[in-house]
Amino acid sequence: MAWLYRGFIVSSRDISPAPQIYEAYRLPVFRTRERYWLYALLFTLTLLSTTTVGAAMQYSFNRNVPFDLSRSIDMYPTLWRHPAMLLGGLPFSLTLLTILLAHEFGHYLAAMYHGVDASLPYFLPSPVLGTFGAFIRVRSPIYSKRTLFDIGVAGPLAGFVFLLPALAIGIAFSKAIPGIGHQGELRFGIPGLEWILQRAIFPGLNSSDVYLHPVARAAWVGMLATAMNLLPIGQLDGGHILYSFFPRRHKLVSMVVCICLIPLGIFWQGWYFWGVALLILGRRHPSIYDAAELGAGRRKLAWIALVVFLLCFTYAPIAEGAL
C-alpha cells in the first residue's frame, strides 16, 4: 500500500429533509515532528538488502544461470566476506529504489501542493527481492475528491515515468539464451509492457528465451508494485482513484475485485493472501462529502492510470519452476 490517511470533519448547513449541502472546513495543519533517523535507517537497510539481491542477480546473469532464491541465499556469506562483490548489485538496487522513490515522492509532492501533511517515504527491506516496497503516511485530513485523486494518481504515474526507460534499457542489455525462462526454481511472469519491449528489441525471439538484465528485473519489480497499488480496492492508489469518481460504488467494486483475485491463486499463491486480506481488512474508505466534478483533465489521467495498470499487471507474477 502506497499511502494511508485518517478522517476529516464536515459540517451540514441544512438539516432539513431536503437534499443536504455539505461544507468542508479546513483545520489548522500542525506538522508532525519528523523522525529523520528512522527514514534514513529504513532506506539504508533497503539499499543494503536490494544491493545484496542485485549482486546475486548479477552473479547469475554473468554466468548465464537462472536466478534462484536458494542459490542467492547461499551466496550471501560470500558477499559479506568479499564486500567488493556488492558493487555488482548497484545497477539493480539503484534502479529499483529510484522507481520507488519517484512513486512515493509523487504522492508526497502532490500532498504538499494541496497543503496535506504527509510523511517522507518509509522503505521496507526484504531478503527475497530486496524490498517489500515503500509507503508514506498522510497525517492530515483530505477534504476534496480532487485532492484525493491528485495524491492517489501522482505516485503510479511518477514511478512509471522512471520505470519505462529503465525497462527498455535493461532489456537492451539482456541476453538471448534459449529456454532460460523455463529453468530454475522461479518463473517470473511477463507483463504486457515487458512483452511489447521484448518484441521491439528482440524481434522473433520467444520471451522465455530472454534473460533479463538486473536493471530490467528491477523495473519488473517496479511494475509489480505499480500494478498492485493500482488495484481498485480500498485505500490502494487505485481505490483512491475509483472513490474520486464513483464514491457510492467503491465498496462494491472493491469487494468484487477482491473476490476475483482469490481464484488467481492457482497461478500465483500470493493472490490467495492478498484477495482474502483485502476482502477482510482493505475494502473500507473514509467518506468525502464533495460534489465538485473532477474535470476532463483528471478523467484523462485516470484513463492513463488504467493503461499503466494493464501494461504492468500479470496474473502470474511468480510461479514455481523446476526444483
What is the C-alpha R_g of the chain? 21
- Give residue-wise pLDDT tens across range 211-246: 999 999 999 999 999 999 999 999 899 999 999 999
How many whole angstroms separate alpha carbon 182 and alpha carbon 77?
A: 28
The percent of residues in the chain predicted with pLDDT above 70, rounded, is 88
More confident residue, 265 or 23: 265
Which residue spans within the chain are E strands per DSSP?
A: 3-5, 10-12, 22-24, 122-125, 131-138, 175-176, 186-188, 210-211, 318-320
Q: Closest Cα to residue 300, out of 133, 157, 155?
A: 157
What pLDDT sits at residue 82?
A: 79
CB burial of 38-76 (b: ≥16 within 10 Å; e: otherwise) equals eeeebbeebbebbbbbbbbbbbbbeeeebbbeeebeebe
Please report where in the chains the cell 462494491 appears, as a residue.
Answer: 252
Of residues 89 and 292, the one with the higher pLDDT is 89
Q: Which amino acid is residue 160, in one-letter code?
A: F
pLDDT on residue 288:
86
Q: Identify the band that residue 113 occupies on the pLDDT scale cut at 50, 70 and 90.
A: very high
Distance of CA 308 to the CA centre of its chain: 11
d(CA 11, CA 289): 10
How does pLDDT run across 152-205, given as a tens digit for each residue?
999 999 999 999 999 999 999 999 999 888 887 778 999 999 999 999 999 989
Residues 6+ apart with CB under 8 A from 25: 9, 10, 11, 143
